[in-house]
């Protein structure tokens, strides 16, 4: 062992040696060893597994630095590889997102255990978030009377609870504006990366997309041509963009969140990235959203954009109008665009199969809610054989599982949050970066809540990454509003 330590010390001294020749030799040795290790790993595990494990290792080092970097890791995994799992089991098969969330909470809790951190911020919204968490736990326990949970049920419910609780991590680890800007940049970059992969998988030949998905199957992704999605499941019809989100509607919801959040940066006086890059990111987000062919997501995106325009940036309304005119021109010349619009029109007329299936789901959901209106039936099953949990609506699904009390608690929490944002925006005119962040969050939340009428991904045990992103964004919004208040107080004190 002492001989090994001696070699390590000698090698370390060569790396920092003032002699350039010895330093180059040491660096060359490191690169050679890394190359041999990479070659061995690729030969044994394959390139996708090797890349995934390398990224996981780098992410673990970053996450363990601080809970703030843990949140950055959660954001990037939730946007880029939300369903990636380790290629082996540890009792169950943990996902990258599970590991990132657990590590973030672990590092955050460790700081309190070691007395390195003693302050805990609850914020004005914390009581509402805690009430919602307690109601979810109560409904889960209530549902155990008629349906025993599986290990998968327990894991998924814990994922959802921890994803919502990330709100408390955000408001406590964001200590200054730079921390806030770091999380905002991660949301923008992660969203742009997700949009890029969505566009890439759409424009390259289908065989190439399937080849990539087949290799990603080693880390938990579905492979084969069955992983591709089409309008009304017709392979001869219009293909829908899925990116790494598997489901085009979930991908559309992700693009509402990141796309609407990014757009105010385009017209901000002080964008978080150079303006040219911000414009590129926004174009990719909008293009990918268009390719999802998700009617609910497109509606939510437009409502979110309108909310920003009405609140502050009238230019975005003008851009939206110009975009609509350009879209109209495309309809006149492109058969693809004509089919796209026809799909929307059929939805409005309740003619297509997908819309008719949703109407059937809504009817069944209302039957369940009418029988169990207060606290729902929980998350594990239903007490009657003619009932089932599952409907393409955030609010109806929440009412099925948590009852009308749970839906009321959620809506009250969101209403209080929007009120906090609006009050913060009244005091932040002279800080362009904070203003753009808060407007982006206001628009994104408005768009997501609108799309929630037609989609369920924000409160679905199968999509914990969307729950995590929602509550991280809520935490960022509350922190931004607090800094806006501090900014106003400093301005008044200086006067």
Q: How many helices (H) and strands (E) does the chain have?
A: 18, 2
66: left (phi over 0), alpha (psi -120 to 50) or beta: beta
Across the range 452-465, mean pLDDT stands at 92
Q: Where are the domains of the chain?
A: 2-45, 126-494
pLDDT at 4: 47
Instruction: Output the DSSP codes for 334-403.
Output: -HHHHHHHHHHHHHHTT-SHHHHHHHHHHHHHHHHHHHSTTT-S-SS--SSTT-----S-HHHHHHHHHH
d(CA 11, CA 13): 5
Percent residues over pLDDT 90 in the chain: 45
Map residue 19 onto helix, strand or coil. Answer: coil
Give Cα separations from 134 to 106, 127, 164, 283 (angstroms): 21, 10, 11, 40
> Residues 334-364: pLDDT tens digits?
555 555 666 555 555 556 666 667 777 888 8
Q: Kindly give, in sequence order, each residue whose CB lies less than 8 Å from that of residue 101, ignoring residues fewer than 6 positions away.
A: 74, 159, 162, 163, 166, 468
CB contact set of 278 (below 8 Å; sequence gap of 6+): 188, 262, 265, 266, 271, 272
Q: How much is the pLDDT for 470? A: 97
Whole-angstrom distance, CA of residue 202 vs CA of residue 380: 36
> Across-strand partners of 85?
95
Dihedral, 424, 427, 431, 436 alpha carbons, nearest 10: 40
Q: How far is CA 486 from the centre of its chain?
A: 29
pLDDT of residue 46: 57
Residues 73 and 99: beta-carbon distance below 8 Å: no
pLDDT value at residue 354 = 64
pLDDT digits (tens, 9 = 90+) for 236-286: 878 899 999 989 999 999 999 999 999 999 988 899 999 999 999 999 999
**Res 152: pLDDT:** 85
Lowest-confidence range among 46-50, 72-76, 386-390?
Answer: 46-50
3-state secondary structure of 90: strand
Instruction: Please report the pLDDT score of residue 225 as a whole number.
Output: 85
- pLDDT, mean over the chain: 83
Listed residue (118, 110, 455, 447) closest to 308, CA to CA: 447
Percent of the chain with pLDDT over 70: 75
Q: Region 56-82: what's the mean pLDDT?
A: 79
The three-state secondary structure class of 441 is helix
pTM of the model: 0.85
- State the pLDDT confidence band at 412, using cuts at 50, 70 and 90: very high
Confidence of residue 417 (pLDDT cuts 50, 70, 90): very high
Buried b (16+ CB within 10 A) or exposed e, 228-240: bbebeeeeeebbb
* pLDDT band with cut points at 50, 70 and 90 for residue 309: confident
106-132 confidence digits (pLDDT tens): 888 888 887 777 788 889 999 999 999
Looking at per-residue pLDDT, the higher value among 228 and 50 belongs to 228
Q: What is the pLDDT of residue 460?
A: 92
Q: CA angle 272-435-449, nearest 5°?
A: 100
In DSSP terms, 90 is beta-bridged to 92
Quote the pLDDT of residue 113: 80
Q: Is the distance from CB of 209 to CB of 228 less than 8 angstroms?
A: yes
């Amino acid at each position: 062992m002492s001989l090994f330590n001696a070699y390590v010390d000698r090698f370390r001294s060569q790396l920092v040696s003032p002699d350039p020749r010895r330093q180059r030799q040491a660096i060359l040795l490191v690169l050679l060893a890394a190359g041999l290790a990479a070659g061995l790993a690729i030969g044994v595990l394959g390139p996708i597994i090797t890349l995934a494990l390398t990224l996981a290792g780098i992410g673990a080092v970053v996450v363990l630095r601080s809970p703030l970097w843990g949140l950055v890791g959660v954001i990037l995994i939730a946007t880029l590889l939300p369903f990636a799992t380790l290629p082996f089991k540890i009792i169950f098969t943990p996902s990258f997102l599970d590991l990132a969330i657990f590590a973030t909470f672990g590092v955050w809790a460790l700081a309190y255990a070691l007395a390195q951190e003693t302050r805990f911020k609850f914020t004005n919204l914390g009581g509402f978030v805690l009430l919602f968490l307690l109601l979810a736990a109560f409904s889960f326990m209530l549902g155990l009377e008629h349906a025993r949970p599986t290990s998968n049920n327990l894991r998924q419910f814990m994922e959802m609870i921890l994803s919502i609780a990330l709100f408390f991590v955000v408001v406590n680890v964001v200590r200054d504006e730079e921390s806030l800007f770091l999380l905002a940049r991660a949301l923008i970059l992660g969203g742009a990366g997700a949009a890029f992969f969505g566009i890439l998988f759409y424009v390259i030949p289908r065989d190439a997309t399937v080849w990539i998905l087949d290799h990603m199957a080693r880390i938990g992704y579905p492979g084969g041509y069955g992983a591709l999605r089409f309008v009304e499941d017709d392979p001869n019809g219009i293909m829908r963009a899925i990116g790494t989100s598997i489901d085009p509607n979930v991908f559309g919801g992700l693009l509402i969140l990141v796309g609407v959040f990014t757009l105010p940066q385009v017209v901000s006086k002080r964008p978080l990235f150079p303006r040219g890059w911000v414009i590129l990111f926004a174009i990719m987000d909008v293009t990918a959203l268009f390719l999802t062919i998700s009617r609910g997501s497109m509606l939510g995106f437009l409502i979110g954009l309108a909310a920003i325009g009405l609140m502050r940036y009238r230019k975005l309304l003008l851009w939206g109008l110009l975009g609509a005119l350009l879209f109209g021109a495309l309809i006149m010349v492109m058969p693809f665009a004509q089919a796209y619009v026809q799909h929307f029109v059929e939805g409005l007329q309740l003619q297509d199969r997908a819309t008719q299936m949703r109407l059937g789901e809504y009817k069944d959901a209302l039957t369940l809610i009418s029988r169990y209106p207060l606290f729902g039936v929980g998350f594990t099953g239903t007490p009657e054989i003619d009932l089932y949990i599952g409907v393409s609506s955030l609010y109806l699904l929440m009412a099925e599982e948590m009852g009308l009390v749970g839906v009321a608690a959620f809506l009250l929490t969101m209403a209080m949050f929007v009120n906090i944002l609006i009050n913060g925006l009244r005091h932040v005119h002279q800080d362009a970066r904070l203003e753009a962040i808060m407007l982006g969050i206001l628009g994104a939340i408005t768009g997501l809540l609108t799309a929630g009428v037609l989609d369920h991904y924000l409160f679905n045990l199968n999509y914990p990454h969307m729950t995590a992103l929602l509550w991280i964004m809520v935490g960022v919004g509350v922190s931004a509003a607090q800094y806006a208040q501090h900014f106003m107080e400093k301005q008044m004190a200086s006067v």
